[in-house]
Amino acid sequence: MNKHTRFTKIVSMSLAAGMISAISVFPAFAQAEEIYLDADRSTDERVEDLLGRMTLEEKVAQLRIFHSSNLIKLNKEGQMVFSPAIKDRLHLGVAGIKNPGANYSAEQSALLNNQLQQYIIENTRLHIPALFVIEAYHGVNAKGCTVFGRPISLASTWNVDLVKEVWDTVGREARLRGLHMCHSPEADIVRDPRFGRMSEACGEDTYLTSEMVVAAVTGVQGDYVGLGAGTHIGAVVKHFAGYGQVQGGRNFASIEISPRVLIDEIYPPFKAGIQRGNALGVMASHGDLNGVASHANPELLTEVLRNQWGFEGYTVSDANDIARLHIFMNVAETPEDAAMMALEAGMDIDLYSDTAYALLPELVNDHPELIEDIDRSVRRVLRTKFVLGLFDQPYIDVSKVRNGVRSPASLELAERADLEAIILLKNEDETLPLTAEQETTVALLGPLVSKGAQAAFENTAGDDFRFVAAKGFELTDRNSTAPKLLDTEESVLEAQVELARQADVAVLFLGGDEYTSKEAYFLDENIGDRDSIDPVGAQDELLRRVKALGKPVIVVLKHRRTLSINEIAKQADAIVDCWELSEFGDQAIAKIVMGEVSPSGKLPATVPVSIGQMPIHYSQKAINYRKGYLFTENGPLFPFGHGLSYTTFEYGDLVLSDTELSEGGKLTVQVDVTNTGDRTAKEVVQLYIKDKVGSVVRPEKELKAFQKLEFKPGETKTVSFVIQPEQLAFTGADMLTDVEPGEFDVFVGTSSQDNQMATFNFK
């Protein structure tokens, strides 16, 4: 746009049609000679010009995000209405608004957000657009968008390209709603299944999580070019750092992580999301880190993020956490101290609070040095808005929404991701897939049977199968704050058993749901973590009784946290592990059970025998494997990376291009993998490395690469991996990260336990 061109508002509204079609940008009174409105100038020039025009109060407004709640609405005529309180929040501008239009359809959301953005632009002195922000735990967390599997389900696919495709769809659907940023993905490593938020992350492993985070960030941001093009949204990687390591698995508990583990295991997914993914934002952790509150931690927010990693985006608090430096963490004596501590540490945006950064204008009177920090943070927020193209194209063309959200391709993608996420944990005597020589009755039973399960199986199976379905009982009272377990009456159990007795095969839907594993929000009465990971209620008893009938028993395991499924592993003939799938989960489960598709998912987290084995992650220090426990078989129930198929894969011997690796060099590892069965199927070929001797105690092994490949029956593929010195680096006794010379074992196989081994030297 030529710098002498006047910006003209060309937002046309057709309220009768219920649409806003927005093609361009700013009110007529905005003059192009203002550098910040000139699209031909650099982002830095535009930011500095705009910053120089702002009052202190306008600057602070750009450091605050508030939640729309139900206060910003559409009336029956499709016109935006909101309370005087919202008007008061917007008169100076705002950094952003959380969840505007989330409870409306995608088209209604775009309509509302166009009007909201127009109001903000036209009713503020400098016409600065706002960021509209959402969560994305299973697709866009808003009405009318495609519902994908949760992040840990996507991690179970071990398919980076597929996961990126999912997040690309999330970014597109969100932008079409008029949204600009998502507080996702989570880069936390989660190794404690007591933690209720386990399913929001990607599991226990640093490398797998890093790859999934990069796929998510690049996908949702449209490889960064989709941001300014107006097709995608920005990612806020969270929770920095160590949030998944809360002690006791309890939300808001303290976090103790050694500096070495922090650098080698916890930081890398965040660093990958920033440096490889180019994420626009980072959210701090609710917790402390070795006693230092994360929201007031300059080592995290400035030294690591900015000085070491070169992060240029903005940091945002988790909900109300700047104020909680005073009211919860007790590291600030007053609300004013809390605001100053966070700002000086490098926290840019205050999410929700009215008693934190809202205090900054008054604080500047006594602390004028704060202006420098305020300007620093405002620059980062404004930069993000320019990167997203909001000053040049702040509105959505509503006519594109209907075909762009929940498109046939998006819905097909959700089911395709489910099919690759489902993990076959056990398949004794080839119980699965189900086959029938004559009419076979299958009973779909248990507390996790959904309403659509029977129809999904009927649509998938042939005429030789008949299905009956009955949920039987609930696990909890479904109270969203503090659920209580329910007792199951004997008559209900017997009714379930009777249905199984009349059937030829029983499929039991067991595990947990959103009430047995959830976020424990800040309020004391809101509980979501558990001190046990055994399946709750009468599930094991139902399984035992059905198994006693002497018929094949298949367990479909739905859950949001890893469960110690000892009875299920003992009694079930087959176990189909689903985590939490998309809206098409029932269809995907049916296709797997009936053999239309061979399962190819792999475990993103180790399955323990009991919670007492924690920590159980496969990549512990080697010395942790020296001793087991009395009266318990040593080792996990199912190892990290495990997952069966309906075919068999044979691995040949490893072939190394050399037995020596030197600085600046590379080494190739090859293995022939053959599908020795009669079905086309996918296999995840996994590579692990063990540093045999180090200056500090080293892990038993670490995942360093993987490939997911499809094999036709009888097909052999030569799978190649390249090992480079940086993959061998770790933080040594001197706290420097480097590669130490010596011997390394390399393992390639189908899981962290089932693999071939070779040895090479680094010198």
* pLDDT tens, position by position, 498-551: 999 999 999 999 999 999 999 998 877 899 999 999 999 999 999 999 999 999
Q: Are 371 and 341 in contact (CB under 8 A)?
A: no
**Backbone angles phi and psi of 350, in degrees to 5:** -95, 115
Task: Check pLDDT > 90 for residue 5.
Answer: no
3-state SS assignment for residue 491: helix
Looking at domain 649-762, its CATH architecture is Sandwich (2.60)
What is the number of other CB atoms lying within 10 angstroms of the CB of residue 171?
28
Mark whether 418 is an active-site residue: no
User: How high is the pLDDT of residue 219?
Assistant: 98
Q: What is the per-residue pLDDT across 685-699, written as a single tens digit (0 to 9) for each?
A: 999 999 999 999 999
Give the pLDDT confidence of 715-744 residue by residue, as tens digits: 999 999 999 999 999 999 999 999 999 999
Residue 33: the pLDDT is 75
Query: pLDDT tens, 652-662?
Result: 999 999 999 99
Of all residues in the chain, what percent are helix, strand and coil, respectively (each to 5)? Answer: 35, 20, 45
Across residues 457-486, what is the average pLDDT? 95
Contact (CB, 8 A) for 147 and 137: no
Percent over 90 (pLDDT), the chain: 93
pLDDT band for position 602 (cuts 50, 70, 90): very high
pLDDT at position 437, please? 81
Domain residue ranges of the chain, discontinuous segments joined by + = 11-26+36-404, 418-601, 649-762
pLDDT in tens, 162-179: 999 999 999 999 999 999
Helices (H), 472-594: 490-502, 539-547, 566-571, 585-593
Whether the pLDDT of residue 9 is over 50: the answer is: no
- Report the alpha-carbon distance of residue 699 to residue 234 in Å, rounded: 35
- Give the global pTM: 0.95
Mean pLDDT of 429-454: 96
What CATH number matches the domain at 418-601, 2.40.37.10, 3.40.50.1700, 3.30.420.40, 3.40.462.40? 3.40.50.1700
Amino acid letter, residue 185 = P
* Phi and psi based region of residue 144 (left: phi greater than 0; alpha: psi -120 to 50; beta: remaining): left
Return all residues near 628 (Cβ < 8 A) that are at least 6 apart.
634, 635
- Set 168, 188, 318, 691: catalytic member: 318
Say if CB 412 and CB 505 are below 8 A apart.
no
The domain made up of 11-26+36-404 is a member of CATH 3.90.226.10: no
Q: What is the DSSP string of 126-188?
A: T----EEEE--SSSSSSTTS--PPPHHHHHTTT-HHHHHHHHHHHHHHHHHTT--EE---B--
pLDDT tens per residue, range 258-267: 999 999 999 9
